[in-house]
Amino acid sequence: MRQAPASPDDIDLTTLGATLKRAATKLIALSLIAGTLTYLTLSTIAPQFVANAELAIVAKSGLNPFTGPDPQNSSTDLASRMDNAAVNTHVRAIQSPDLIENVAGELRLAGRPEFNPVLGPVDTFTGILRTIGLSGVQSSLSDNDRVLNEVSKRLQVYSPESSRAITINFTSIDPQLAADFANRLATSYREKLATATVAETSAVQDNLAPRIARLQDEVAKADEEVADFRNKAGLLGGGSQKTPINEQQLGDITTELTKVKTLRSTAEARAKSARDLMRRGTPEVIPEVQRSPLIQGLTSQRVAVERDILKRSTSLKPAHPIMKQLQADLAAVNRQIAGEVANLVAGLDKEAYLAAEQEQAVVASLEKMKSKVAVNTTDEVELRRLEAVATSKRGELERLRAQFEANRARTDSGAVPVEAQIINLARTPSISNFPKKLPYTLLVMVATLLLGTAFVITAGLTRSARSAGSTHAADDRLREEIAAATSIPSPRIPPSLAPLVNARHEPDLVDEPGLQPPPLHRPGHGDASLHVGDAGALARHLLDISTGATNGFRTLIATRIDAVSTAELAVATAAGLTLADKQVIIIDWSLNGTGIARQMSLPNAPGFVELLIGKATFADIVRFIPGSRTHFIPSGWAVAEGPEGLDADQLNLILDALDEAYDHIIVVGRYENARALFETIQGRFDAGIVASDTSDGQRVLDDPPDTFLGFEVADIDIIRFESRAEQAETAA
C-alpha cells in the first residue's frame, strides 16, 4: 500500500533505524574510546576520602551567669540560644579562620603538598595540569594563607534542616588526616566554648562580690530604719513583727463580733421556737425541755399517776376519795411541769437578750478600734514603704548570693556547661569518595552513546526536513523543467515502437472486429492477482483502478523479458493511458545502466541516478518519447554500490514530486532491480505488474497469491502480464 506523500513534518522511523544501524559501530567505538580515556584520566587523580564529625547544640546544664537563677529568665534565654539563628551562628563560628589556623598548626598541614602546593603536586593529574599551564601556585601568598585556602576548599560545615545538629565534613587524600581534622576541629570548638564560659563566669564572680557586700550594708540599714519608725509611730508588731498590734486587735475584734452575732442569732431562734411551741400546746417537743432531767422526772411521775388512775377506774367511781386523790396528784404534777417549761422558755429569752447586749458591746469596741487605726494610717503607709524597700534589697541579696555560690562551685570543679556536645566522632574512611572510576567511566560511555545517537538522529531529521522542505519548490520547478525538456528535438521513432506510439491517432483500430482486445482473465480461487496478455487491456485496467486518485498513480513493472519487449510494453501501456488524456511519465529503472532508453532512441544519461545524487535536474533528464505526449526519464549511469548506495528519503521525495505533476508514473525495471526499489521505498506503489515470457526459466507467474516480488502485500493491485503466444501455450 502506497504511503502518503512525504512532508517536512513526517518522521521516517525505518530510515532513522537504518541510519542508526549504519552508525552503531562508530557510536560504540566512540563510547569505548571515551570510557577508556575517562578511566585513564581518573586513574591519574589521587583518591579523596571524606570524614565527618557531628555536634549537637543542646541546652546548658546551668543558667546564664548574667541572668541568675530566675526560671522565667532561664526559659527566655534558652529559647534564644536554641533557635535556627543561634545554630547558624555556631556554624559560622566553627569556620572561623582563627580556629582553623590553630587546628592546621596542630596537624602541621603546612608541610603537606596537599595543603601547600609549593611543595609539589599531589598526583599525576595535577602535575600534568601544571605542566600545560592550567594550574599554578600563587607564590605571593604565605604558607598560612595557602593552607587556609586549601582547607576552606575541603571543609564543609552545615546544619541539616529542622535539626540542631552540625555536621563537619573534611576531604583529604589521607583518610586518617580527614578523620583527625574533623575530630580536632569539633573538640577545639567545644574547648573554645568551655574556655569562654569559664572566663565569662570568672568575670561575673569578680563583679558579684562587691555588689553582694554593698547590698548587705543596704539591707541592714533598711531593717534598722523599719524598726526605728515602728517604735516612733507606736506601730509595734505582734509575734511575727510584721503586722502592727492595732491591726491585729482590729482583726480579733472583728472575729469576735462575728462569733457574737452568731450566738445572738442562735439564741433568738431558740427562744422564738420555744414560745411558738408553748402557744401550740406542745411544750414537750422543745429540745431544752426534752434535755431537762427535772422535767423528765415529772413526766415519769405523771405517767405513773395516769397508769394508777386508769387501773383503779375499773373498780372505783370518779367520786370515790381515792380517785379524787389521784386526780389531785395528776393536776399537781402537770402544774409543776408547766412551771418548769415556763422557766426554761424564760431562760432562753434571757440568753437571747444577753447575746444582743454582748453584740452591742463588741460593736462599740470595734468602732473605737477603727477610729484608732484611722488615726495611724499615714504612719502605716510609710512603714509599709520602708518594709517593701527592705524586702526588695533582701531578695536581691539572696539572688546574688545563690548565683555567686553556684558560679563558685562551677568554677572550682571545672564542670562548665557547654552548648555544643559531640555526638559522633569521625572514623577513618576506607572507601574513597572521589574519583569513582567504574561508575564515572560507565556514565561517560552511556552519555557519549546517547549524545552520539542524538546527533545521528538530529542529522538524519535535518537532512529529511531539508529534503522535504525543498520538495515543494521542486514541484513548482518541475513543470518549468518539463517545459524546458520539450524543447529537446524529437529523435527518430524506432520502427518497432511506431505503431504503439501512433495508436492514439488511429482510434478506429480498436473497433475492427479482428483487433478487439481479448477479455481479462480473472484469477481463480486463492489468487488475488489479475492476468492480462494485452497492453491495451492493461491500460484500461489501470484507468479503472486509478479512478478517484488525487495524486499520481504509481505502477511498477518488473520484467524478465528482453529490453525490446519491455520497451514495447511500457510505451503501449502509456499510449493507452494518454488516449484518456492522462499525463504519463515512464521511468527507466536500471541500476546497471542498461535500460530501455536505447530501444527508444533516447540517450541513457543523464538520468534518474544523476538526479538522485544531485548531478542533474529535472530539466536535464526529462525527455519526450518521440512523436508522443509521454515523458520519459532514462536510468542514467550505473550505481557501483548497488541499491545500498541509494538514499531512500531522496527517492521518496522525487516520486512525491512526480505525483504532483503526473497522473500516472510507470517505473520499468528488471525483476531484481524492481525488487530492490520496492524494498527501499517500502512498497509505496499502487499497482504491481510482473511480465515474463516462455524463455524465463523461473516463471514469475507461479509466485504465491497475494505476493509481489517475493513480498506479502496488501492494497496493491497485482497484475500478471502474459503475452498472447504464452497464453496460447499455457492453454494448450
pLDDT value at residue 295: 75
Residues of the chain with pLDDT > 70: what percent?
76
Spatial distance between the Cα atoms of 312 and 118, rounded to a whole number of angstroms = 148
Please tell me the number of Cα atoms within 13 Å of 99 on its side-chain side.
Answer: 22
- Structural contact between residues 662 and 584, judged by C-beta atoms closer than 8 angstroms: yes
Q: Are both 423 and 355 inside the same structural domain?
A: no
Does any domain span residue 525?
A: yes
Spatial distance between the Cα atoms of 567 and 597, rounded to a whole number of angstroms = 8
Does any domain span residue 620?
A: yes
Q: Are both 159 and 199 inside the same structural domain?
A: yes
Please report, for residues 340, 398, 547, the alpha-carbon distance to residue 529 in angstroms, rounded to integers and kept in the order given: 152, 120, 19
Choice among 22-26, 90-94, 644-648 with the minimum mean pLDDT: 644-648
What are phi and psi for residue 310, nearest 5 degrees? Answer: -65, -35
Q: Are both 349 and 457 inside the same structural domain?
A: no
pLDDT of 219 above 70 = yes
Does any domain span residue 224?
A: yes
Q: Are both 264 and 349 inside the same structural domain?
A: yes
Which tops the pLDDT comparison, 597 or 697? Answer: 597
Q: Are both 91 and 227 inside the same structural domain?
A: yes
Q: Give the torsion sign (CA, 34, 40, 41, 47).
A: positive
- Structural contact between residues 538 and 500, judged by C-beta atoms closer than 8 angstroms: no
Mean pLDDT across 17-30: 87
Confidence grade of residue 484 (pLDDT, cut at 50, 70, 90): low
Question: How many distinct structural domains can be found in the chain?
Answer: 4
- Structural contact between residues 192 and 174, judged by C-beta atoms closer than 8 angstroms: no
pLDDT of 77 above 80 = no
pLDDT value at residue 643: 63
SS3 assignment, position 421: strand
Q: Are both 682 and 537 inside the same structural domain?
A: yes
pLDDT of 453 above 70 = yes
pLDDT value at residue 512: 38
Does any domain span residue 392?
A: no
Residue with cell 434571757: 350
What letter represents residue 648's amino acid? A
Q: Are both 507 and 537 inside the same structural domain?
A: yes
pLDDT of 525 above 50 = no
Mean pLDDT across 152-172: 92
pLDDT value at residue 486: 43
pTM strictly above 0.85: no
Spatial distance between the Cα atoms of 350 and 357, rounded to a whole number of angstroms = 11
pLDDT value at residue 383: 77
Q: Are both 545 and 411 inside the same structural domain?
A: no
Question: Nearest to residue 181, comparing CAs of 123, 89, 112, 124?
Answer: 112
CATH number, domain with residue 491: 3.40.50.300
CATH number, domain with residue 128: 3.30.1890
Spatial distance between the Cα atoms of 358 and 6, rounded to a whole number of angstroms = 128
Which tops the pLDDT comparison, 146 or 626? Answer: 146
Confidence grade of residue 424 (pLDDT, cut at 50, 70, 90): very high
Encode pLDDT of 230-261 as tens digits.
777 666 554 444 556 666 777 788 888 888 88
3-state SS, 473-524, equals HHHHHHHHHHHHHCCCCCCCCCCCCHHHHHHHHCHHHHHCHHHCCCCCECCC
pLDDT of 341 above 80 = no
pLDDT of 22 above 50 = yes
Q: Are both 13 and 35 inside the same structural domain?
A: yes
Residue with cell 510482473: 690
Spatial distance between the Cα atoms of 128 and 113, rounded to a whole number of angstroms = 16
pLDDT of 490 above 50 = no
pLDDT value at residue 230: 76
Spatial distance between the Cα atoms of 497 and 563, rounded to a whole number of angstroms = 12
Spatial distance between the Cα atoms of 357 and 260, rounded to a whole number of angstroms = 10
pLDDT of 119 above 60 = yes
Q: Are both 592 and 641 inside the same structural domain?
A: yes
pLDDT value at residue 556: 92
Spatial distance between the Cα atoms of 543 and 539, rounded to a whole number of angstroms = 6
- Structural contact between residues 42 and 440, judged by C-beta atoms closer than 8 angstroms: yes
- Structural contact between residues 202 and 429, judged by C-beta atoms closer than 8 angstroms: no
pLDDT of 156 above 80 = yes
Q: What angle do CA 603, 608, 613 make, to 5 degrees?
A: 125
Element (H, E) at 459: helix 437-485
Mean pLDDT across 449-464: 84
What are phi and psi for residue 167, nearest 5 degrees? Answer: -105, 135
Encode pLDDT of 27-74 as tens digits.
999 999 999 999 999 998 999 999 999 999 887 654 444 444 444 445
Top-ranked range on mean pLDDT: pick from 252-266, 276-290, 330-344, 407-421: 252-266
Does any domain span residue 342?
A: yes
Residue with cell 603537606: 112
Does any domain span residue 385?
A: no
- Structural contact between residues 477 and 654, judged by C-beta atoms closer than 8 angstroms: no
pLDDT of 489 above 60 = no
Can you read off the three cell numbers belonging to residue 164?
Answer: 540542631
Checking phi first, is residue 406 left (phi over 0); if not, alpha (psi -120 to 50) or beta?
alpha
Q: Describe the strand order of the beta sheet including 155-158 as a list of residue ranges.
A: 155-158, 165-172, 49-57, 420-424
Confidence grade of residue 500 (pLDDT, cut at 50, 70, 90): very low
Does any domain span residue 678?
A: yes
Mean pLDDT across 655-683: 88
pLDDT of 682 above 70 = yes
pLDDT of 431 above 50 = yes
Q: Are both 50 and 39 inside the same structural domain?
A: no
Distant-in-sequence, close-in-space partners of 625: CB < 8 Å, separation ≥ 6: 497, 501, 571, 574, 586, 600, 602, 631, 632
Q: Are both 551 and 651 inside the same structural domain?
A: yes
Residue-range definition of the domain harbouring residue 668: 486-731
The alpha-carbon radius of gyration of the chain (Å, integer) is: 65
3-state helix, strand, coil in the chain (%, to 5): 60, 10, 30
Number of Cβ atoms within 10 Å of the Cβ of 163? 12
Element (H, E) at 712: strand 711-712
SS3 assignment, position 326: helix
pLDDT value at residue 375: 55
pLDDT of 473 above 50 = yes
Choice among 396-410, 424-438, 532-546 with the minimum mean pLDDT: 396-410
pLDDT of 521 above 50 = no
Please report, for residues 29, 139, 338, 349, 359, the alpha-carbon distance to residue 272 in angstroms, rounded to integers and kept in the order given: 127, 119, 18, 8, 19
Please provide the average confidence, as pLDDT, over all residues in the chain. 78
